[in-house]
Structure 1
């Protein structure tokens, strides 16, 4: 029990040390499972023995053949009936809902069904059907252990076939799965320097088009909200500032179960098509990010030292990629632009010095006029502090002539400390120019990023692969580096970590098995199940045409490692026990498979049945079912989109690993013993004879 639990727990230990945004998002999964598995040891070693003593009783042959209302049954029904009557009484007094009473009625019905029908059916199954199945399996196992090498080579051949099928039928993997949108976002970007009122007018027109586009599907839309200046950037963007030239339209959909089968991805496409045709306006349409905060699907980084050269190369690359007609790119946008309007006050230092002023005083005066300066604090009765800022009136700070004629009040120390007022125009000249919107750096080098989302249903990895091929043929100067970052960078980091986590899991399981069996051969037999269980994952994903999600599938394979090893421990441990009791190896592996088939299948079946609702997205409202008789049963939703790949990975892998455990493990055990006998025949024979004599004595 302890070794099996530790091998199940071990793969989740490295996942708890995933130090990234994705790791922080997934952190609660390994921690929850580790705590749960440790708690299961307490249940197994303390609580189960106590319950077994108090509640378990010997099985009596034929005790369920003629069920009747005996004393125990009547007592149970009386207790359940009393609780049901009390629940309905509390409902009529208005203190409880009807749900508890209905639930107890269901409990009574299930108890009667179990007592009069199921117990008898289960007895017949255990005494008739299951032994036949065990004998059928034992016959096939007898045939398999006669050709153990053939079975092992056939498994390797199946692994090659799985890889071939995956390469032929498999779809391109995605980083994180995404389901039907719950929100649609329309990001509006006007030219830099656009007034907030102008941005608002365009955003209103876009909102009207969006409302018209979703009109046929208004029954699944809850709201359409517009923002200007505030809250207008992508939530995954590092920059969350306020921009007067930006707006956002948000469309919220009803929850999945109330959409009556309508696909919100199609509505998203309608919205995208409806907002085209605004000259000079950059528009991007996206859905919410259901997973961890990751960067954009497409992120092309240009790294160099000369910002002018970066901007020019970025514009050329953007035009070059547009000519390549790469499908799936929504709208490539550079995060650095050189068209930001700027007003420059050129200070004539000679004239300023004659007036007794320096550039610091002039810039400070302009800054106070435009942005304001703290004059004090205001505290209300709730003890909330508010800063009091003083700045020029709107008509002054929004008019360049007013700013030029603004007088600077200062004390001229050159004329004996006399207070003077001099207009800024006396020693400055105004110049209108353009500058960069911002400057970003990575590892102390300037970087410009071309970013875009990928339009559904295109695969981000396929689109990025096409972009990479195009970039390789793009001509650039030697001082500029072009690389793919963003989602591709996050994906590479995740794959690297998951590979290391899988290797660490192997190491931890290896240590536990070596301590348990003190044998390299037995350890390799059990741990090879992890390798062969991947066959089931590859076959399932390729045959059923599923898209592999890198993170969730990777986590599923790591979690699968501990589960399949546990079943292998059961077989190998029981085989060792039979051999120690004097049984020959051939009979021992067959008997171990025949005897341990039940717990192995029970473990696998229980895990698979528990994962199926998560895999298919089975949803049921138990409260509604018992209270209003409305279970609201439906399949799909956000959970299946996100957790489905993990669940299917474990279902496919565990299902195939069960066959591996019951067929291949006995064969590999026999191969190991035969190989040892050939290499160390005399020594092994003496040890075996000594054990046999000890057992007979």
Structure 2
């Protein structure tokens, strides 16, 4: 072959290339960005439109629907959701993962511009577009707490915020939980009433007294002077001296009718860490930046600033994604190294000497080449990439074994090392390439995996193709050169017959071969029985698993690093009432030693921008940050179950869900049911009925829906005729009420470089009373105060909360989690109840979405990928053997591998994973056929030399027994640490029993190990039997070829 011939002619060049690969590979491995999971880009664009005072139904009709109609024409959109609430419309456009976020933003902007002509003409502002990405979520949180007021904690955080945002890899440091300073001008209703002065006059007096206005410039003599009026407030006390108005020729000062308070903005959130009030900085990295490097720089800045801050200020670093990355990478690296040692040990045992070293070098050099390619294609070192290397570990030596052993055999026969290297490599080059191509062919269809799972799992076929291609390069280029320069072998001598029983027992290999020989002879004598038993085992294993197995799951259920207690109080619940509910939860979770941090967010910060359940003071979240996996005394999943039971018993009057942190790609809740129809009230009633009907299903927990009930309202119904007679309009009345309750900005107060808003409004005590609202006065045309009650009627009521739409249909989503049962089993029970116990009104329907929808898509793709894999392998085999029947015989080994897959899942108590087991089966298709190829290829060679079919089959089986077993054992041992969770921790120099990565990848490793083990053993028997049957058929019909 040209490649190995060129390599042998330029051996020094190859050795130099080896040095380069070594150095470049190590460098790339060290510098490759680390991530826990692949950086999945799922572009979202939010279109937010405000239209103050407009009801949800009108917001839907006037804003959401016209925008949706324009957006539906955009290509590459996966779904369009909208939420129409009072005064605000939010339309969320979810694009396919392959779409560039900038392109997506531009497409939406163009369509929104087209929709503007269909929107109300009196909108105060144009729709606002915002891009959001799942990969942009915080990578670490800096939490400040201690014996300080929230105002001081806020100030410390603001000082730190500037430094953190100066880090090149940091996109944003978002501050929450603090109190932002404000100067409040609070009017006394009694005094204002006594003076009979309207609010608008007082507000104008404050606003017009706080100015810093340029007055142009003047030329006086030869100088040019700037003219300005610097009458902005230098001290809050100056506000007291403002002349509010003049009564009977005497000035009435602001201090006579108002109080001035150096205060803060009304808090809409509160934060605590381990029960202590706190302020949080959520650090968000830039896209493509290395998580580990960014978080290390954040930690360095925090360490640098600590001496400049009070010693009693406590700084905690929570939700540290870099720690997750380090632990996961360390686990997988330990698995790789442990598997590597096992593989090399077996090679040394079976091959021995320099040949074993040459073969073993294929592993590090193939990985070094892979690291170089990963760096060249900007691929991060994440858990999928690392597992791919583990899966490839045992396969990397297969090509090397074939080539090095063949070269070694020629040297034994008396050839020179260089001639043996050339001849030996040339003889097996094409079979090696063919077997590699069949393996690569198994993974190629997975390169076209669409959607979120394709973005996530796509790194597996990419990495495997790189690694296996690299191993082929090592086998054809590096191994022949090393053998030509350094291989040694003793000349072959005739083997002495082993006459005594002791001599026969002294050799383990002949013992196993003798057992195999007996089994093979019996099988060739009972061919139909063997075929029948094989397919009976296949059917039996499937039936056994169906009867006694764990069922089917989408993704493995792992021990969570974090969990969240979500508390949703009734609409309208204020911050204080929500805080009491959160404290009940804090009292429960604080008793668990395995929880490192309890981080409470009371209010809107607990909301999720991707969920459409709304935000507000009634939404709360308690985040539980567990200790590292090996430091826990109890399984975190057990702790989560205990907390769920206790919180449901203790917390009353609110919805409580205890959720584990989602691992892997964001596919949605395990149970997600979407109900669609026309009437939002009917949808809300149906959602309530469905929840009542299914809440008793075993294993279904954390049930909730996103139907937003109406908030309690105080409605002010303006008598338009009376208002018009008094020279007023609705807007003036509404603005006066808003000013009194919410306040209005009347200026800013500057202190050094900082600016603080000055807000005029009623004092706190008068903003929590219906009687105070009735005492508000409105300024008439001549400045006279007119009581609000003479212009409007004040009513207590409630309005519709929000209207959700999905792809232009109104929808309410019910979601839940599962515990103790597989999601598929729970879904089946839900579907049964919905069809047998529920009467669905005409025009209303339901469907499962979220994880179930993604599972259906993935299962459909993997089924197609499996068929495509078999077809690719079939074409390669037809090309190699120039036969139609031989490829069918070889592909039987793929079916036989399913026996091992189902038995392995049954023995280990593992569920059949749509993703993990599915990929394992496809991987097996490319691996197990190689054993059959090796066997049949040698059988054909023997037949061409004139050997009888039966004798050729027996000799082929005996000769290929060791390489077939060796390649299977190396692959199995490479995956064994991952399947068992037992590896050696090379950092701590200790045995590591049980690790996080094996929970995730263990099911795939189990499928490959058991599938390959059974397929290898059966292939050595069933394939010769099928070849014998084919030969008999050919002889009977007088044909030499199939």
**How would you bin the TM-score normalised by the shorter chain?**
0.7 to 0.9
Aligned counterparts, 1:646-661, within 5 A: 646-661=1004-1019
- Residue 467 (structure 1) aligned with residue 830 (structure 2): yes
Q: 1:608 aligns with which of 956, 962, 972?
A: 972
- Residue 489 (structure 1) aligned with residue 853 (structure 2): yes
SS of structure 1 residue aligned to 2:659: strand
**How many residue pairs are counted as aligned between the two chains?**
598
SS of structure 1 residue aligned to 2:1029: helix
Partner residue in 1 for 2:641: 269
In 1: Cα distance, 2:531 partner to 2:755 partner = 77
Q: Structure 2 vs 1, CA of residues 563 and 126 (structure 1 numbering), >3 Å: closer, same or farther? A: farther
Q: 1:452 aligns with which of 799, 816, 819?
A: 816
In 2: Cα distance, 1:494 partner to 1:405 partner = 63
Q: 1:45 aligns with which of 465, 470, 476?
A: 476
- Residue 338 (structure 1) aligned with residue 709 (structure 2): yes
- Residue 137 (structure 1) aligned with residue 500 (structure 2): no
Partner residue in 2 for 1:576: 940
Contact 1:9 1:34 (C-alpha < 8 Å) held by counterparts: yes
In 2: Cα distance, 1:48 partner to 1:402 partner = 90
Q: 2:603 aligns with which of 217, 229, 233?
A: 229
Deviation of the 1:387 alpha carbon: 11
In 2: Cα distance, 1:49 partner to 1:461 partner = 52
Contact 2:678 2:809 (C-alpha < 8 Å) held by counterparts: yes
Worse-matched range after superposition: 361-370 or 585-594 = 361-370
Contact 1:338 1:434 (C-alpha < 8 Å) held by counterparts: no
Q: Structure 2 vs 1, CA of residues 676 and 351 (structure 1 numbering), >3 Å: closer, same or farther? A: farther
Q: Structure 2 vs 1, CA of residues 149 and 364 (structure 1 numbering), >3 Å: closer, same or farther? A: farther
In 2: Cα distance, 1:373 partner to 1:576 partner = 91
Partner residue in 2 for 1:74: none
In 1: Cα distance, 2:629 partner to 2:671 partner = 28
Deviation of the 1:668 alpha carbon: 1.3
Worse-matched range after superposition: 300-309 or 349-358 = 349-358
Contact 2:743 2:762 (C-alpha < 8 Å) held by counterparts: no
Deviation of the 1:289 alpha carbon: 1.9
Contact 2:434 2:880 (C-alpha < 8 Å) held by counterparts: yes
Q: 2:547 aligns with which of 161, 168, 177?
A: 168
Partner residue in 1 for 2:798: 434
Partner residue in 2 for 1:79: none
Aligned counterparts, 1:529-544, within 5 A: 529-544=893-908
Partner residue in 1 for 2:451: 20
Deviations 1:311-350 (A, max 9, x none): 112222222334xx32222242221132323454555566
Contact 1:299 1:451 (C-alpha < 8 Å) held by counterparts: yes
Q: Structure 2 vs 1, CA of residues 378 and 240 (structure 1 numbering), >3 Å: closer, same or farther? A: farther
Q: Structure 2 vs 1, CA of residues 40 and 376 (structure 1 numbering), >3 Å: closer, same or farther? A: farther
**5+ residue gaps, structure 1:** 63-123, 413-417, 626-630, 689-697
In 2: Cα distance, 1:491 partner to 1:302 partner = 19
In 1: Cα distance, 2:830 partner to 2:716 partner = 44
Deviation of the 1:351 alpha carbon: 6.2
Q: 1:637 aligns with which of 985, 988, 995?
A: 995
Contact 1:335 1:449 (C-alpha < 8 Å) held by counterparts: yes
Which structure would you say has the larger RCO, counting Cα contacts within 8 Å and 6 or more residues apart?
1
Question: Larger % of helix: which?
Answer: 1
Deviation of the 1:556 alpha carbon: 0.9
Worse-matched range after superposition: 426-435 or 568-577 = 426-435
Deviation of the 1:162 alpha carbon: 0.9
Deviation of the 1:164 alpha carbon: 1.9
In 2: Cα distance, 1:663 partner to 1:584 partner = 18
Q: 2:912 aligns with which of 537, 548, 571?
A: 548
Deviation of the 1:293 alpha carbon: 1.8
Aligned counterparts, 1:88-487, within 5 A: 128-212=507-591, 214=592, 218=593, 220-233=594-607, 238-239=611-612, 242-260=615-633, 262-275=634-647, 276-322=649-695, 325-346=696-717, 393=761, 395=763, 429-454=793-818, 456-473=819-836, 474-487=838-851
Q: Structure 2 vs 1, CA of residues 279 and 221 (structure 1 numbering), >3 Å: closer, same or farther? A: closer
In 1: Cα distance, 2:767 partner to 2:464 partner = 60
Contact 1:169 1:543 (C-alpha < 8 Å) held by counterparts: no
Deviation of the 1:643 alpha carbon: 0.6
SS of structure 1 residue aligned to 2:657: strand
In 2: Cα distance, 1:11 partner to 1:389 partner = 65
In 2: Cα distance, 1:387 partner to 1:586 partner = 94
SS of structure 1 residue aligned to 2:672: strand
Q: Structure 2 vs 1, CA of residues 581 and 438 (structure 1 numbering), >3 Å: closer, same or farther? A: farther
Deviation of the 1:377 alpha carbon: 12
Deviation of the 1:488 alpha carbon: 2.3
Contact 1:226 1:249 (C-alpha < 8 Å) held by counterparts: yes
Deviation of the 1:305 alpha carbon: 0.9
Partner residue in 2 for 1:590: 954
Please, what TM-score do these two structures have when normalized by structure 2? 0.53
In 2: Cα distance, 1:25 partner to 1:379 partner = 50
Deviation of the 1:23 alpha carbon: 2.5
In 2: Cα distance, 1:380 partner to 1:516 partner = 83
SS of structure 2 residue aligned to 1:522: helix
Please, what TM-score do these two structures have when normalized by structure 1? 0.77
Q: 1:668 aligns with which of 1026, 1033, 1042?
A: 1026
In 2: Cα distance, 1:242 partner to 1:314 partner = 20
In 2: Cα distance, 1:188 partner to 1:392 partner = 34
Deviation of the 1:179 alpha carbon: 2.4
In 2: Cα distance, 1:231 partner to 1:267 partner = 25
Q: Structure 2 vs 1, CA of residues 199 and 139 (structure 1 numbering), >3 Å: closer, same or farther? A: same
**5+ residue gaps, structure 2:** 1-431, 494-502
In 2: Cα distance, 1:315 partner to 1:570 partner = 63
Aligned counterparts, 1:500-515, within 5 A: 500-515=864-879
Deviation of the 1:130 alpha carbon: 1.4
Q: Structure 2 vs 1, CA of residues 593 and 350 (structure 1 numbering), >3 Å: closer, same or farther? A: farther
Contact 2:777 2:787 (C-alpha < 8 Å) held by counterparts: yes
- Residue 520 (structure 1) aligned with residue 884 (structure 2): yes
In 1: Cα distance, 2:751 partner to 2:880 partner = 70
Deviation of the 1:663 alpha carbon: 0.9
Deviation of the 1:303 alpha carbon: 1.4
Deviation of the 1:564 alpha carbon: 0.7
- Residue 564 (structure 1) aligned with residue 928 (structure 2): yes
Worse-matched range after superposition: 553-562 or 507-516 = 507-516
Deviation of the 1:566 alpha carbon: 1.6
Q: Structure 2 vs 1, CA of residues 205 and 144 (structure 1 numbering), >3 Å: closer, same or farther? A: same
Deviations 1:358-399 (A, max 9, x none): 8788888888998899999999999xxx99988765858956
Deviations 1:528-556 (A, max 9, x none): 22122111111222244332222111111
Q: Structure 2 vs 1, CA of residues 210 and 143 (structure 1 numbering), >3 Å: closer, same or farther? A: same
Deviation of the 1:26 alpha carbon: 1.7
